[in-house]
Structure 1
Amino acid sequence: MKTADDAIRRAIIEDYGVVGRPPEPDLEGLVQLAATVCDVPTAVINLIDDRFQHQIAAVGFEPSDCSREDSMCAVVFRKPGHTVVRDATLDDRFASNPFVTGEIANVRFYASSPLVTPVGVPIGSICVFDDYARDLADDDSAALKLIAHQIVDVLELRRITRELGESNEQLESFAAQVAHDLRNPLTALTGYIELAAEVPEVADLPAATRALSRAESAAERMAGMIGRLLDYARVGGAPLRPKAVDVAPLVSATVEDLRSAGVDHDAEVIVDASTTVNGDPTLLGVLIQNLVGNAIKFAGARGDRPRVEVRTEAVTGGVRLTVDDNGRGIPEDERDLVFEPLERGSNTDAPGFGIGLSTCRRVVEAHGGRIGIDTAPLGGARVWAVFPA
């Protein structure tokens, strides 16, 4: 008879996405470790739903599926603790099981440890067995328990990684669609604002002129947000075309763009970037635009003249890019959070949309690199990115 627990267990197993697929190398390694530690020729990782026992990795034989009724582990996996049986033919729970009677196998020694999810749902077991009766040392039994925990960790990591991938794909699609849907009407709106500003009757009215100026500024901010959304959606959508890239011209172009838009804040920008970065020039341009633009935006927040320093240097196995500012910095407990889409940490009054740093992370990770935030020698934030050589 199926129960609510069976339905939950089956849903969890489906979420892990390992049934019916080739064994995961990490799981194969753990099942091999279990067999080695317990000094047995055969071991298997079983996931057990309401109908079947799924052998998702094994050593000593090829993994397959069998009915839950035939499973030895199905008898004990929902009970806490180890099961260690010296001779299964002498145990009432297993003596008539087809894995013991010779119908499927001739198991004598059997030991298993349940696989329990972080929310407390048992989903199967790691079991070891042999054709000869024998005992299992306490240390080996404890090791089997640790391996069971590691197996669950691998399954959870696989699930989380897949869910994050699906979430990113959905966000990319959403960003691209929103940007596309907004760009055309925004272009039309900007055109109407420009036309209205040229009407003589409107130009002679100071209040109307101020209102149109504010509307134009709002349209420009919206255009900036659309551009950021498109940048985010594009990262990872096309193959990289890496080459040796000089960062200095990218910084100069960014500063010039900000100066033309009147948002450079008279910042002093120092560039020491003689070491080239191996990467896609277009994506690195997006990275520099976001990092330098952010640094200038927040620099000088303590009353000093805004100062930004951009450097590249060779490190073991690659190149490190750093962008420092003399702003207020980013609290240590928010340095991971601000890389998430639409997150700005506690600095919610700052201009922007919370998309720039998440785009930067996608650019760096697309190159196989890493990105993070520290405290800058200037007193503000240091955003660093390391690219492989």
Structure 2
Amino acid sequence: MITEQDVTRRQAIDAYHVIGEGPAPDLQGIVQLAATVCGVDTAVINIIDDRSQHQIAAVGFEPAVCSREDSMCAAVIARPGRVVVNDARLDDRFAHNPFVTGEVAHVRFYASSPLITPAGVAIGTLCVFDSRVGDLAEPEREALDLLAHQVVDLLELRRISRELSESNDQLSRFAGQISHDLRNPLTALTGFIELAVDSPDMDNAPDAARVLARAEAAASRMDDMISDILAYARVGGASPQRTRVDLASVLGSVVEDLDAQISVSGATVEVRPDAGIRPLGDPTLLRAVLQNLLANALKFTASVGRSPRVVVDARAVSGGWRLTVDDNGPGVPHADRERVFALMERGDLEAEGLGIGLSTCRRVVEAHGGRIGIDESPLGGARAWIVLPDPDVPAAS
């Protein structure tokens, strides 16, 4: 039976990524030193999970895997502490063990010190043993403990280095996400400026002022998005700000930023939420999500050969808000509705873009404690939906 302690140990072991890897030189050096200090020919680092003992570095024999039931170290890991046994044949814990009886080996002297993580989880041992009866003086016993601590320190260092490397990869991906999120406001800004420059009568001050004002507003929204999303990235994307979001105002900004795309597609965009809809969340990040979803809907409805239509709606649900973006495009096959949220994935392999948008959407929505998904739409295409929690919206009784 797997115990809660076994589950905790397995999780701690998994964080180090040592099982199934070849012996690392730094760990191999520690077992060599342990054997030398303790005056034996054999030493091993054992990692013990709920099923097996994994020898991840060894001297005096080739590291291997054995069942937990056959492991000598598994017999002592339940009560972690230094163990020194002069003759294993005379110890009830080991007398019938195959490493002692000759089925696997003829261990007589045995000593081990536990590998305990900074969180206090014993994941294995640093073990020395010999086919002759033996003992350790106190300095050698203390040295074995010290070397066991060094094993854990090295595992921690490797874990931190790996996580830093993964963070750098995430940073690179996030740079791609940022560029995608800002493409639509930048396109709007460029389009408005081009309209102003190409105006047949630049002396027509009211028209020029109106167009340039829209360009300035788009630029301001883009600047806000850069500042807020980068601030979100700096805190690890875990704690977006929480405020009442004027959804009608946010959607108005989104539609204006997508004005050029809407015009080119010939789509009819219906935004239904009125000023009374005020979900709880980060206005800039939610705008980025809605912008992605609306831009996707416009992109895919443009290829269906009929008048494109997109409807954005929102309503209170039990304990929160449900936002939907419906279109009359080709839809998303059921088998692809989860895959399209993965980074670098997209539902239509012929469509432009890297599929970064939906990955960004999921990241932001989940940071708000919400959920996001894709279903069939009543309009015949896809429905992208978001559920955001809100403590001020009563939950169903």
**5 Å matches for 1:165-314?**
165-183=165-183, 185-196=185-196, 198=199, 200=202, 203-204=205-206, 208=210, 211=213, 214-215=216-217, 218=220, 221=223
Instruction: Call closer, same or farther: CA 1:220–1:107 in 2, change over 3 Å.
Output: closer
> Unaligned 5+ residue runs, structure 1?
229-389
Contact 2:185 2:219 survives alignment (8 Å): no
The separation in 1 between residues aligned to 2:190 and 2:115, in whole angstroms, is 60
Q: Work out the CA distance in 2 between the residues paired with 1:163 and 1:213.
A: 42
Call closer, same or farther: CA 1:152–1:200 in 2, change over 3 Å. same
Q: Name the SS for the 2:150 alignment partner.
A: helix
Give the C-alpha shift of residue 184 in structure 1. 5.2
What is the CA–CA distance in structure 2 between the aligned matches of 1:206 and 1:180, rounded to whole Å? 29
Q: CA deviation at 1:11?
A: 2.0
CA distance, structure 2, for counterparts of residue 200 and residue 19 of structure 1: 71
Task: Name the amino acid aligned to 1:2.
Answer: I
Distance 1:179 1:208 in 2: 27
Bigger mean CA offset, 5-14 vs 83-92:
5-14
The residue type paired with residue 193 of structure 1 is I
Match of 2:158 in 1: 158
- For the 8 Å contact 1:196–1:202, the answer to whether it is kept is no
SS state at 2:15 partner: helix
The Cα of 1:180 is off from its aligned counterpart by 3.3
Q: Is the 8 A contact 2:186 2:222 kept in 1?
A: no
For residue 205 of structure 1, report the CA deviation from its aligned partner. Answer: 8.1
What's 2:52 paired with? 52
Matched residues, number: 228
Q: 1:134 to 1:220 in 2, by over 3 A?
A: closer
Do 1:193 and 1:216's aligned partners in 2 also have CA atoms closer than 8 Å? Answer: no
The one-letter amino acid of 1:146's match is: L
| Compared CA separation, residues 213 and 151, structure 1 to 2 (3 A) | same
1:31 to 1:192, Cα distance in 2 relative to 1, 3 A: same
State the TM-score, normalizing by the size of structure 1.
0.53
Letter in 2 for 1:190: T
Q: CA, structure 1 residues 82+176, in 2 after alignment: closer, same or farther (shift >3 Å)?
A: same
Residue 24 of structure 1: aligned partner = 24
Q: 1:97 maps to what in 2?
A: 97
Q: Within 1, Cα distance between the matches of 2:226 and 2:2?
A: 55
- The code of the aligned residue for 1:13 comes to I
Whether the 8 Å contact between 1:94 and 1:100 is mirrored in structure 2 is: yes
Partner of 2:140: 140
CA contact (8 A) 1:186 1:219 kept: no
Structure 2 Cα separation of the partners of residues 106 and 12 of structure 1:
32
| Structure 2 length-normalised TM | 0.52
Q: 1:202 to 1:167 in 2, by over 3 A?
A: farther
State the shift of 1:101 in Å.
0.6
Shift of 1:211: 3.7
| Rounded Cα–Cα distance in structure 2 between residues aligned with 1:115 and 1:172 | 35
In percent, how many aligned pairs have the same letter? 62
Instruction: Please tell me whether the aligned partners of residues 107 and 132 of structure 2 are also in contact (alpha carbons under 8 angstroms).
Output: yes
Partner SS, residue 37 of structure 1: helix
AA aligned to 2:50 is D
Query: For residues 194-242 of structure 1, what are the alpha-carbon distances to aligned partners after superposition, in whole Å with 9 as ceiling and x for unaligned?
Result: 42475647625897588457437537858988xx9xxxxxxxxxxxxxx
Residue number in structure 2 paired with 1:107: 107
CA distance in 1, matches of 2:208, 2:189: 21
Which 5+ residue runs of structure 2 have no aligned equivalent? 231-397
What CA distance in whole angstroms lies between the structure 1 residues aligned with 2:225 and 2:193? Answer: 14
Per-residue deviation at 1:51? 0.4
CA distance in 2, matches of 1:48, 1:202: 80
User: What aligned pairs does 1:295-334 form with structure 2 within 5 A after superposition?
Assistant: none
Shift of 1:170: 2.4
CA shift for structure 1 position 158? 1.5
The answer to whether the Cα contact below 8 Å between 2:114 and 2:148 also exists between their aligned partners in 1 is yes
Amino acid paired to 1:44: V
Give the letter for the 1:26 counterpart. D
Residue type of the partner of 1:12? A
1:79 Cα deviation after fit: 1.6
Match of 2:36 in 1: 36
- The 1:202/1:75 distance shift into structure 2, 3 A limit, reads farther
Q: Shift of the alpha carbon at 1:167?
A: 2.6
Contact 2:186/2:219 (CA < 8 Å) preserved in 1?
A: no
